[in-house]
Every structure is written in C-alpha cells, then in structure tokens.
Amino acid sequence: MSRGAVQAVEHAAEAPVPLPAGHVCEIWGVLNITPDSFSDAGLFLDPGAALARAEAMLREGAQVIDVGGESSRPAGACYGEGFSEVPVAEELERVTPVVRALAHGGHRVSVDTVKPEVARAALHEGAQIINDVSCGRSHELLDVVAQAGSELVLMHTRGRGEVEPPFSVYADVVQDVLTELELAAQRAQRAGVARSKIWFDPGLGFAKTAAQSLSLLAALPTLVAAGPRVLVGSSRKSFLARFGSARDGARPAPGERLPASLASVLASARAGAQAVRVHDVAEAWQALSFDRALNEARTR
C-alpha cells in the first residue's frame, strides 16, 4: 500500500463518527438593522425592508431570526477601528418594531445586544433569546435575562473583539475559550439564569486570528461536550476567505464566501452544534437537509 493510501486510511479512522439519525441543527437567520455591518450594511435599515427580509428567511427555513441594531464587527486588519457604538434610543428605534412584528406573528426571535435597556425592551415585545456578544460582561443584562426567564447566548470575546494582542493571545485557544465561556456561564447562573437556558458561541473571528478561528471550528466537539447548547456563527467571516481563497490566491469578499460558509455550516452540524447563524438561509437549509439524509442513509 502506498504512503498516500496509508495516510488516507489513517485520516478516515480519525473522522468524526456520524451523528445519530434525527440530530437537527437549527438555522438562525441574521438580520442586521445597521449601516455598518461587515456584510450587509444598510440593506435593512428601513423597518419594511427588515421585515421583508425576515419573512423571506422564515420561508427559506430559518427557525430563529437574530435581530441586531448595532454592529459588532471587531477592530483589526479587516475592519479597521471596528464597530461604532449606537445610543440606546437609536438601537431601540431600529429593533423594537421588527421584534414586535415577528414575535406577535409567533416566530422565535433572538436579539443581538449588549445593552440591558435594549434586552429588556426586546423581551417585553416578545423576543425569547438574548444574544450577548460581550460574553456576559454586563451584570445588569444578566439580571434582565434572569428576570424574564429567557434564553441567553454567551459569545466568547475579549475586549471589543480586537484581533490583536493582547486579546488574541492564548495559551491554548480551545481550552482558554472553553474556560472563559464557563466563567461567563457561572456569572449568568449566579444572576439567576438557568443553565438549561444558556448557549455557548465560540465567537469565531472575535479576538481570534484566522488560524485560531479555524482551530476552534475544528475542535467544536470539545465545546459541544461541555454541556450548554452550541451556536456557531461563521457565515461570511474573514477567516473563511483566508483558508477558502480563489485558485489565484485572491480572497473573496463577504458576499462571495458562500461555499466556505456552507462548508463551515456542515462542519458545525456534524460536530453536534445545535444551531448555526447564517446570512444565506435557503442554501444552508439545502446543505443541512442533504447532509441529514446522507447521515441517515449511513445508519440504516
């Protein structure tokens, strides 16, 4: 047997065991009501346009609409100084009408915010999930979530997500991220949030280099085994362009990263993630549906 064949057999032996038939990875559709998000800036600032986009994603298969009224793009080589903070009143004006309409229509809504005032208003309007990209930094926000009994996504980050030292320096990126997420979960639990309501998000691209983000994606089974449900947001992110460049070496722009985004969606689902956060819902639905059918065929 050739050396290449031996290596292929060894790699096959190391491949993840197929998930049990019936494992379902939810699709959360991204709805950025912002002028400065890295991918779809300004497209959905109008409430009518935002609702139309949400309704389209629901038809395409999204189980949750994740609404954000403030960009969280991190500072670094890709996005310069990163996001600009939005006053509470402006963020409320952006998200409240959309959350109200979606929640009153019976849809599951997540609100991407770090502000307790926005979280409180969104939950009052019927949102069921707060997506906290600050990793549980605000005790007041944790108190709001606890009082409402809602679900909480804790996304790993450091600082403002800057992709530069000291924020991107880790002894072991997988273990350090897991430790810091667990500490955030303990803060949330002390505030009164039930552990069963907590999600972990590894925060790909936040305070992490492209290589570190890739390592975390590869190590998702370790994160899944930690207990809380796992949400992965890799859609259109810059680390995909680094490792999914064109044949001539060019790095695709955010809107051109669909193939790598779908590869990361499938990797997340196969690792046991309970949800993926995506911009391209119809394509993710098709990829996950086929992968689920393939997995079921393997286990017959």
Q: Which residues are catalytic?
A: 237, 277
Residue 47: how many CA atoms within 13 Å on its side-chain side?
A: 12
Cα–Cα distance, 223 to 231 (Å, whole number): 10
Give the span between the Cα atoms of 169 and 151, in whole angstroms. 30
Which contiguous run of DSSP H or E holds residue 131?
Answer: strand 129-132
DSSP string, 137-178: --HHHHHHHHHHT-EEEEE---TT--SSTTTT--SSHHHHHH
Task: Tell me how far apart the alpha carbons of residues 118 and 94 are, in angstroms, rounded to a whole number.
Answer: 10
Enter the tokens of residue 18. Answer: 């197929």
What residue type is assigned to position 182 of the chain? E
Cα separation, 159 vs 115, in Å, equals 16
Q: Which two tokens stand for residue 63?
A: 């189980």
Q: Would you state the structure tokens that stand for residue 155, as one six-digit string? A: 């996304």
CB count, 10 Å around CB of 122?
Answer: 32
